[in-house]
Structure 1
Amino acid sequence: MTASSSTVLKASGLTKSFGGFMATNDVSFEVHAGDALAIIGPNGAGKSTLFDLLTGRKTPDTGTVELFGEPVTHLPPWQRVKRGIGRSFQVSSVFRSYTALENVQMGLMVSSSQSWNLLGRAANTRRDEALAVLDKVGLAPKHDMLAGELSYGDQRTLELAVALSTQPRLLLLDEPTAGMGGEESRECLSLIRNIAAKEHLPIVFVEHDMDIVFSFASRVIVLVAGQVLIDDQPSVVRSDERVKEAYFGEDI
């Protein structure tokens, strides 16, 4: 079946096992333009493995991934980045010994197939572009600070800037507020929401904070033991008895 024009990403029958452990089992779903899709589930449900299958860090045993109608199942991560996937990680992955500006410059250079060995030239030719990206996330005033000297919240924001520098058409965010306090989390969520609206970016995100999930997501997928338990609107997911049971009776 050909994906509709609004289909950004399509996962079909994704299965991945490690030894005798089935991390994902026949996972299928689509991401459409305008989606803010949350993937939730108990520990060990397969969320991280699923993200790795979508981004090319792992290859499925069976199943396929399509991006804008193009098969990408066996493409490495950098090829998927060039085709429009931007990703942030659960743990901040910025280069701590480089400045905020240089981190974004590297993203710009990756997206245009330039070599980071040409740092001197890059500093002259991509500076304005990098500053513009940093300005989007509010970090332009800190452009000359080493990433390792930024606060943890600013490091996560810088990681978002690096993802944006690759000119993504889809953002995959792995626990974007992990390690943040309440106020930082709210600020991060507001920033992501505003950027997604301005850039018309669909988002897929893994998150453990249910307040964030149900205040931000337009759809929620619940994974349990590597399988999709439900894929529906937040209000439907929140009231589903199977979901409550999966979370050991917790009020979500």
Structure 2
Amino acid sequence: MTVPFITLNDDVQIPQLGYGVFRVDPADTERAVSEALEIGYRHIDTAAIYGNEEGVGAAIAASGIARDELFITTKLWNDMHDGDLPDEAIERSLTKLGLDFVDLYLTHWPTPAKDNYVHAWEKIVAIRDRGLTRSAGVSNHMVAHLDRLVAEVGVTPSIDQIELHPRHQQRDVTAWCAEHGVAVEAWGPLGQAKYDLGEFEPITAAAAAHGRSVAQVVLRWHLQEGRIVFPKSVRTERLRENFDLFGFELTAAEVAAISDLNVADGSGRVGADPNEVN
């Protein structure tokens, strides 16, 4: 099974399907990531604040997989935006991961009340230029934040990683990203269990039509919409299920029907509002 790649605006290629370790117990991370790598995942998404970079690194070291076959993402936490703290943060993450560089480094949240996300972005660009990350991007940045980064720094992120699932599609942000050549990564692609996706007829109908689970249908919807996804699970059977997305294709009508589940007023959001995280 071959996972497709997306070429970012800096010519770095990222596997469209990965494995996320948000809220994976640090004590269980090495086992879970090792199983994901055995199944075939090569894209792993972690963050400093998750507290499990060491487990990711241990799994990578034990895997024997060549470094150039892996795509590793980590993120700069909110208390490390000022001064030279981003330089300390990336070095700390690399030490925990046991790596010389990551493939993608992101500002985790803009924290707009602190008004230092532009500086954080400047530092991440410099970290990229030093070779400590191959690609530089952001997470949870809204249109106003993105506009300011481009206007003041002159460098467009390669990726914006945002909450995105059938009930919260952030169409203003995705439209901005499409216009500016920025790839969209969907965190919480299944709604993080806030929603029983089996309650929505367009999803269950597609699942029945293709003999697939509702989770597989939603993840396939993301892929066909051109987004990058990295669903999280610690269960082996679910890791396998989430990886098995390439033996079927949703029809255009099925994709459109799932897209119609969006809640336009933003009340479908599961996580925090990026304008309020500080």
TM-score (norm 2): 0.37
| Structure of greater relative contact order (alpha carbons < 8 Å, 6+ residues apart) | 1
Q: Could you say which structure has the higher strand fraction?
A: 1
